[in-house]
Amino acid sequence: MLTAILKLVASAIEFFLGLPLIGGIFIVSNAWGPLLLMVLFYIVILVISINYGYAKWGAITGIVVSLLAFIPVLGMVLHWVAFFVLLIDGLTNAKQANRT
């Protein structure tokens, strides 16, 4: 269940970062620090997902997005993609955790 919660939290963060203008201003005003923090957060999620045997694609997508999101318009679109991927991955993990 931990991976599901972390992926859903990451999905909410990606939603905020993908907001037009607001997310970009937040990232640029913090000198792209949020992207670095998100890479680290996704690495933690990836390690936990591997240890518990859950899907890794949400964390891997997040890492790739965070590394490429410094590109202005592409970054916003990538944050949207990451939001949906992490939302689906987190809900899938929650469903799997409820079965066991």
Average pLDDT over residues 10-28: 95
The answer to whether residue 88 scores a pLDDT higher than 80 is: yes
Mean of the per-residue pLDDT values of the chain: 94
Residue-wise pLDDT tens digits, 38-53: 999 999 999 999 999 9
Q: Report pTM.
A: 0.92
Q: Report, as an integer, the average pLDDT of 61-76.
A: 94
DSSP 45: H
Over residues 1-18, the mean pLDDT reads 96
Return d(Cα 82, Cα 76) in angstroms, integer.
10
- Higher-pLDDT residue of 97 and 21 is 21
Number of neighbours of residue 83 by Cβ within 10 angstroms = 21
The SS3 call for residue 89 is helix
pLDDT at residue 96, as a whole number: 87
Average pLDDT over residues 2-31: 95
pLDDT at 100 over 70: no
